Structure 1
Amino acid sequence: MRHWLHRFSPALLALLAGLAGVAALIPRPAAVPAQPTADYVIIVGVAGLRWDDVNAADTPAMWQMAQDGAIGALSVRSARRITCAGDGWLTLGSGNFAVFTPGPVTPVCPPLDVPITRNTTSATLPDQGDLVTRNSNLHWGAQPGALAEGVRCTTAVGPGAAVAAARPYGRVDRYSETLDDSLLDACALTLVDLGEIAGDDPVARAADARRADAALADILAARPEHSVVMLAGLSDLDATSRLHVAIAQGPGFTGGWLTSPSTSRPGYIQVVDLAPTALAALDRPMPGRLFAGTAASTADSGRPADVTAAVSRLADADREASVQRRVGTNFFTTLVVAELLLFLAVVPLLQRARRPAGPLTHRPIPRPLVRAAEVLLIAASLAVPAALVADLLPWWRWPRPGLGFGGVTLAVTATATFAIAFLTRRSRAIAPLGGVAAVAALAVAFDVLTGSRLQLNGVAGYSAVVGGRYAGVGVIGLGLLATGALLGGAALAQRFERRWRPFVMAVIGAVGMVMIGSPYLGADASGAVALTAGGCLAAAMAVGGWLTITRLLWAAGAALFVSSGFAILDLFRPEAQRSSVGRLLVRTQDGTAGFIARRIAEADVVTTVTSPLTVLVLGCVVYATFVLLRDWGGLRRLLGVFPPVRAALSGLVVACLLAGVVEGVSFNVLGAALATALPLVVLSCLRVLEHADDRTPAAPRVPEAALES
């Protein structure tokens, strides 16, 4: 019995670590939502309205509404990459991501053209059937008219409002082209189109904002009692995607930030949240699973008491998000090119790094040159974490944001490189690998623990304009966390006995799983499941030797057990707070999982073709195959001398590929991981080759006279 416990205690402790990780993901009780108190809801849409258009002088009605109500940044994501005015209005009326504008969109959206057949007090949209058919063929499953079907009567003022208020068969209950005070209490739900604010000319935008504000002032003056008024900048009007205005004022919205479970971020909501918010305020039932959004509420924490400071914060978020995509594309393209060139430059060093014990066959490489290569490799591995840390400074406010970001990132990279290179200059071969990986993961973990402020709208994070994620860990952060959990765990496990290495890998993997999968931290369920699979594989391979069938079955069983526990816990959460894993299980049960699978597959294809990280992944595969795995490449020796590193790299590839495919980002997770991991692997190969032919010094010979004495 004692022998059995001695042999299997590491495996049992590893299983307990996994169970503890699952237990840490148990959700807290859901908060009781506030009861609705409104009799009327008025949604006012101004296409293109941004927070930098709102000020006390030009838009006093909007300013007062922002002071008295709840405010937030509105993501105008629709079923199109560029959300034009019609797309925004139809997404509002569908409560789901919809498309209105036909054909390709040039950098400027076409004018909103809505055929309307007028009746006495109502109207009909003759093209509504075509819109329903077009959106039914999309994988989002949007149904135009879902919002109107949730109430008995709807009033629309203006063509855009008619698009949102039309029922699936095209009828608009009450319609007027111009605003009339008597219309505001004719139905429980009223939608008003106040036109557009387009272009970049400050004078023209200010004039359009003043016109919209005057009409809004009339609405506020004539609003019925117990009404909620929502102001929304429903769409973009050109290819420069931005964040827009969202204000709700009335019962239940008397201050604080606007937020919703769809974003889990105070101060951010989506267009798809407006429809469920209106129905929730009116105490109307939600139309099944037709809505992609959730009802918005208020979050009081963190909003400045001064409305000027609050509006400035939202305008600053819009400014950062507007430049994030362009700067991010340039950064990752430059990084990919620089790393691939660096890998090619290191090839001669790898070929000549090994020092044979016999007579030298070639001139040794100058030590300063090798040291310079090591420093460059460390710097390359730190570039992505440095890009994350760079958001501590407001580079997006500077006149040249791209140059500002580049300068800050270079400074952070240089500082971290100097520290790592100095501390590991005389250490073992895998010390830089484990150290840098751990530093990268700790940077992301610190950001997640403090609210993911660096990742939101950050170059190494995610954009609220794109709308895929608003809180938690992003695609790049997931790659860094997986790299740190597995490679950092491998470096630590190498210091333990063979039989304890799986336990070390399991403990660190469990910590990473909790950090990624907890809905209060990383909030990425599929990423946590992927890391579980990779971590179990790494734990099975950490002891070295062949990956036997028995080890593989144990790893697969443990991964399935932990992942199943995670999924079951996810089903106990409220529907609005379920992760992608829980939603997929529910959709599989009711037979609608095909829509999700189609959406993910399309996103994978688009990302594969457009992302520069795809080039990095392919380049790394070619480099590893034709350089590192050669006899002089050093990788095989590195993996043989350090079995936990072999295990960690195998688990990292499995975890990142699985997460990328399931989340619809293709090779981006693996690309972010390789951008940090492969330079460190190359550096470790250089160091291993340098000592490949070291000999243990022979013991000094003792004279026979000394032995006899």
Structure 2
Amino acid sequence: MLRRLTPVLLTLVVVALGVTALAARPDNGGPKRSADFVVLAGVAGLRWEDVDPQHTPTLWRMAEQGSIGSLSVRSAHRPTCPVDGWLTLGAGNFAAWQGSNRVGGCPATGVTVEQPDGIGANLPDQQSVVAYNQDKLAWGATPGALSESVRCSVAVGPGAAVAAARPFGRVDRYAPVLPADPAALLGSCVLSIVDLGTVDADDPTVRAAQARQADAQLARVLAARPPRSLVLVAGVSDTETPSRLHVAVADGPGWERGWLTSPSTAREGYLQLVDLAPTALEALGRPMPERLFLGRPAVSVGGRPADLRTAIDQPADADREAGAQRRVAGWFFTLLAAAQVALAVAVLPLLRRARRHAGPYGPEPVSRRVVAVVELLLVAAALAVPAALLADAVPWWRGSQAGWWFGVVTALLIVGGTAAVRFSPGHGSTLGPLGAVAGLATLVVGVDVLTGSRLQLNGVVGYSALEGGRYSGLGTIGLGVFIAGSLLCGGWLAQRVRRPWRPMVMVLVGGAAVVIVGSPYLGADSVGAIALTAGVSVAAAICSGGWLTISRLAWATMAGLAVMIGFAVVDLRRPAAERGSVGRFLAAVGDGTGGLTVHRASSANVETLVNSPLTVLALAGAALVWLALYQPWGGLMRLFGIYPAIRAAMAGTAVAAALGGLLGGSALDVAGAAGALVVPMAALAALRVLDHSTDRTLPGGGRPGEEGPAGGPSGGGDHPDGGRAGRPADPEGAARPDGDDDPSDPVPGRAAEDDGEAGTAGGTAGAQVPTQARPASTRMRAG
């Protein structure tokens, strides 16, 4: 009865851990702030490198007394051209102007602004732009949602008119330029949007002049601002490719000397362009329009350096890092994919010749030095992604040759990690390198997540604030590495204990990983936690031996569904502004807009599948496993038979990586990152298993009369002293076994497990007897 209840109990444990991790959320909302007026002032193209006391003294003083941050100007088009930025500002959602998307830069899109009277204005193209965003684009944005949420709004300049126009094109109050005394105009409505100009020149002198002109306009706005007003200054768009991070400053009661952030980024000092509209309504105490805003109200948090120059250097440095990351990431993953494919091809002949033959005939074994070199290369390949993540601890992006500096730092870290694995205790055992590499990878990603995921933000193997997909927590590549590393660590540890305890070990290690991935304080990836829960359940179900039966697969599926349902119930009870991705999706399904989310995820999967180099890694790894390692001569089946916990860990990794990529809209990226770690280690372990497939083991663990590990017979596994079990104590006194599998064994090629147990994976593998004790006909079969 206990054996039958074990899967049920383990499923309940995994579900409890998953729901506990996902249910609690940090308090992202500060105290409610109120203002009588809000002024949104935008400067297209303004970056923090343009701000200094000499050329922009007004903005400098405003930043000193207010809160600052880096603004991601993501819109429905890339790059975000000025008209797209203004439209996104007014929609509170990712929007784009019809026909503004052009390859190679931002076109000079003219916006027609009609003034039928002396008060307001009209945009005749607005209705077609609204239809374009709702029918053609995947975000379902409604341009003018911000102005529709207030009774009256003011626009100054053509860009501001695009943001302030209501869905039918009407601008309540409009002025093409700031009047001589703008106080009356800015005080006529609770919301004012002002276009301060554009900073788009490449020449530093001209660019400084443009910034000075925008600063002079800002000085006039601040001089005429209404009482009890909040002024937000934002670099609302890009003006060229590639995209950059831009200026965001908030000045008003409750916004003194802090960092700007929002729940949409969950990262101090970062907010999105879509956050400005809900921030304005939050400050005015107005309700948010239902289903229209994707942004969240920004807040000010402490911790900013007292010196403004030091504070500004941080977002400016983040902008440089994000720009360098875009240039370096492409060639890094291309080189990694090429290196792993070449290494896979080089491993094939070693696999074919790794199994030793006891007879006089057979292929000449490969040189031990060649095998040792290939093993080191496999370890280095598996450590490439963790080393690239750790390389961001060094400011390589500040040099003139950022790519070369990153390559040098990463190469040194790979060499250091490979040396650590090579000289680690137990390296000579079959699973020694696998356990060491998995432990290092899990440690690097886990420590980064526990310390705020600072290495992943704008990192080469992390996520970019310019892309706008994620700003905190565990990224796609980090998720793949962490899934593979944690499950392999669990399998390695489980293999070292007795069979009845293996599911418990796997659940403990995997449950801790689920908490790290899913906790909003840490990994903040609810989809990844659900996928990892399914993977842990699969691994726990088969880690003690046997196949992945329908019942075991059903328990794993039920665990994943239970975590998702449990989290969904908790998440839906929260206010709309505090919900996670699962809760937002279910709420969208309830109000009829869930199809947009599914469409966006499907489009993201297709785009990532076609364009990502990690797709090549995933497909190449799958091809190596299926066409080589999993063949009878490839060694992986033998590895799985001897070490069922490793088989369970790899099966759980495959399930979790596939689900995480599919549900998260990243296609095969999670699987590619996981495969970059798992496949080289699987090849290395297969080589070692094949190398010892003909070793002779005695019931006493290598010497007659000796006891194996855990007081039982041993064979084919790793001896507790770090050597390889199966080596005869006296090379001349013990004969080599035959090189063929005994057809009488229930599982051909099987040796006893390293813990002295036998009979896993559906068969019993007894310890082999010395050659002298076997019939002559059996000894001659190898010849």
Shorter-chain TM-score: what band? over 0.9
The 5-angstrom pairing of residues 168-187 of structure 1 reads: 168-180=167-179, 181=182, 182-187=184-189
| 1:704 aligned partner | none
How many angstroms apart in 1 are the aligned matches of 2:564 and 2:276?
34
SS of the equivalent of 2:96 reads: coil
Gaps of 5+ in 2: 706-732, 734-783
Gaps of 5+ in 1: 702-709
> Are positions 1:94 and 2:91 aligned together?
yes
1:541-556 equivalences in 2 (<5 Å): 541-556=542-557
Q: Structure 2: how far apart are the matches of 1:133 and 1:431?
A: 61
Q: In 2, are the aligned partners of 1:256 and 1:299 still within 8 Å (CA)?
A: yes
* Equivalent residue letter for 2:282: A
Alpha carbons of 1:447 and 1:630: their partners in 2 closer, same or farther (altered >3 Å)? same
* Greater mean deviation of Cα atoms: 424-433 or 615-624: 424-433
* Deviation at residue 10 of structure 1 after TM alignment: 8.0
Query: For structure 1, which segment, 122-131 or 349-358, has the greater mean C-alpha deviation from structure 2 after superposition?
Result: 349-358
The one-letter amino acid paired with 2:463 is Y
User: Given the superposition, is the C-alpha separation of residues 367 and 425 from structure 1 closer, same or farther in structure 2, using an over 3 Å criterion?
Assistant: farther
Cross-structure match for 2:454: 453
**Higher deviation after alignment, 370-379 or 630-639:** 630-639
Deviations 1:577-631 (A, max 9, x none): 3221111222222222111000100111111110011111111222222221222
| Aligned position for 1:705 | none
**Contact 1:27 / 1:569 at 8 angstroms: preserved in 2?**
no
Q: Which runs of 4+ in 1 moved over 6 A?
A: none
Structure 1 residues 522 and 200: CA distance shift in structure 2, 3 A: same
Secondary structure, counterpart of 1:117 in structure 2: coil
Q: Provide the residue aligned with 2:70 in structure 1.
A: 73
Aligned to 1:492: 493
Alpha-carbon deviation of 1:26? Answer: 3.5
1:293-442 alignment, distance < 5 Å: 293-301=295-303, 303-423=304-424, 426-442=427-443
Q: Distance in 2 between matches of 1:35 and 1:425?
A: 58
CA distance in 1, matches of 2:640, 2:51: 60
Structure 1 residues 367 and 105: CA distance shift in structure 2, 3 A: same
Distance in 2, Cα, partners of 1:595 & 1:559:
24
Aligned partner of residue 68 in structure 2, secondary structure: strand
Structure 2: which amino acid aligns with 1:136?
Q
Q: What does 1:211-360 correspond to in 2, within 5 Å?
A: 211-301=213-303, 303-360=304-361
**Identity fraction in percent:** 54
Q: Distance in 2 between matches of 1:141 and 1:20?
A: 36
Answer yes or no: is 1:111 the counterpart of 2:108.
Answer: yes
Confirm or deny: 8 A CA contact 2:25 2:520 kept in the other structure. no
Q: Within 5 A, what are the aligned runs for 1:604-623?
A: 604-623=605-624
For residues 112 and 210 of structure 1, the distance between their equivalents in structure 2, rounded to whole angstroms, comes to 25
- Offset, 1:33: 4.0
Show the counterpart of 2:149: 150
Contact 2:658 / 2:671 at 8 angstroms: preserved in 1?
yes
Match of 1:86, as an amino acid? V
C-alpha distance in 1 between matches for 2:572 and 2:211: 46
Per-residue deviation, residues 355-408 of structure 1 (Å, max 9, x unmatched): 122235232211111110000000000000000000101001011000011110
Instruction: State the partner residue of 1:61.
Output: 58
Larger deviation, residues 473-482 vs 429-438? 429-438
Question: Who wins on radius of gyration, i.e. which is larger?
Answer: 2
Post-superposition offset of 1:570: 2.5
Distance 1:415 1:125 in 2: 62
Instruction: Name the CA distance, whole Å, in 2 between partners of 1:239 and 1:362.
Output: 57
- Cα shift at 1:682: 0.6
Give the aligned residue type for 2:122.
T
TM-score normalised according to structure 1 size = 0.95
Question: Deviation of residue 30 (structure 1)?
Answer: 4.3
Deviates more, 1:34-43 or 1:392-401: 34-43
- Look up the match of 2:134: 136
Partner residue of 2:719? none
User: Which secondary structure state, in structure 2, belongs to the residue aligned with residue 423 of structure 1?
Assistant: coil
Q: Over residues 528-561 of structure 1, what are the superposed CA-to-partner deviations in whole Å (9 max), with x where a residue is unaligned?
A: 0000111111111112122233323333333332
Partner of 1:653: 654
Which residue type is aligned with residue 281 of structure 1? A
The letter of the residue matching 2:118 is T
The Cα offsets for residues 497-537 of structure 1, whole Å up to 9 and x where unpaired, read as 22221221111111111101011110000000000111111
CA contact (8 A) 1:11 1:503 kept: no
Contact 1:567 1:581 in 2 (8 A): yes
Give the residue type in structure 2 aligned to 1:63. W
Structure 1 residues 9 and 139, CA, compared in 2 at 3 Å: closer, same or farther? closer
Structure 2 letter corresponding to 1:668: D
Q: Distance in 2 between matches of 1:547 and 1:604?
A: 28
Q: Which amino acid in 2 is paired with 1:640?
A: G
Of 264-273 and 98-107, the range deviating more from structure 2: 98-107
Amino acid of the residue matched to residue 274 of structure 1?
L
Q: 1:284 to 1:648 in 2, by over 3 A?
A: same
Is contact 2:77–2:101 with CA below 8 Å preserved after alignment? no
In structure 2, relative to structure 1, the CA distance for the partners of 1:104 and 1:476 (3 Å cut) is same
- Residue by residue, what CA displacement relative to the aligned partner does 1:167-193 show, whole Å, maximum 9, x if unpaired? 111000111111021322121111111
**Contact map agreement 2:625 2:679 (CA 8 A) in 1:** no
Structure 1 residues 358 and 315 mapped into 2: Cα distance closer, same or farther (>3 Å)?
A: same
Aligned to 2:211: 209
SS of equivalent to 1:113: coil
Contact residue 28 and residue 262 of structure 2 kept, 8 A? no
Matched, 1:122 2:124: no
Distance in 1 (CA, whole Å) between partners of 2:357 and 2:651 is 30
What is the CA–CA distance in structure 2 between the aligned matches of 1:31 and 1:664, rounded to whole Å? 25
Q: Per-residue deviation at 1:434?
A: 2.3
Distance 2:5 2:426 in 1: 38
Q: Give the corresponding residue for 1:464.
A: 465
Greater mean deviation of Cα atoms: 30-39 or 683-692: 30-39
Contact persistence 1:10–1:503 (CA under 8 A): no
Q: Which one-letter code corresponds to 1:372 in the other structure?
A: V
The letter for the 1-side match of 2:175 is S
> 1:706 maps to what in 2?
none
Greater percentage in helix:
1
- The structure-2 alpha-carbon separation of the partners of 1:584 and 1:10, relative to structure 1 and needing over 3 Å to count, comes to closer
Given that 2:474 and 2:517 are in contact with CA atoms closer than 8 Å, whether structure 1 keeps it comes out as yes
Per-residue Cα deviation, 1:236-292 (whole angstroms, up to 9, x for no partner): 111211000000001121120001111111100000000011111111111112000
1:21–1:511 CA contact under 8 A, matched in 2? no
Secondary structure of the corresponding residue to residue 262 of structure 1: coil
Provide the secondary structure at the position in 2 that maps to 1:169.
coil
Whether the 8 Å CA contact 1:14–1:502 is kept in 2: the answer is no
SS of the residue corresponding to residue 665 of structure 1 reads coil
Instruction: List per-residue Cα deviations over 1:64-98 (Å, max 9, x = no partner).
Output: 01101000000000011210000000000001000
Contact preservation (8 Å) 1:476, 1:672: yes
Residues 1:191 and 2:188 are matched in the alignment:
no
- Alpha-carbon deviation of 1:565? 2.1
Residue 5 of structure 1: how far off its partner (Å): 4.6
Aligned to 2:633: 632
Calculate the aligned-residue CA RMSD, in Å. 1.8
Contact 1:434 1:489 in 2 (8 A): no
Give the residue type in structure 2 aligned to 1:168: P
**Structure 1 residue 678 corresponds to structure 2 residue 679:** yes
Letter in 2 for 1:66: A
Query: Higher mean Cα deviation, 240-249 or 541-550?
Result: 541-550
The aligned counterpart of 2:160 is 161
Question: For residue 129 of structure 1, what is the amino acid of its counterpart?
Answer: Q
Tell me how far 1:129 sits from its aligned partner: 0.7
**Alpha-carbon distance in 1 for matches of 2:500, 2:7:** 7
Q: CA deviation at 1:133?
A: 0.4
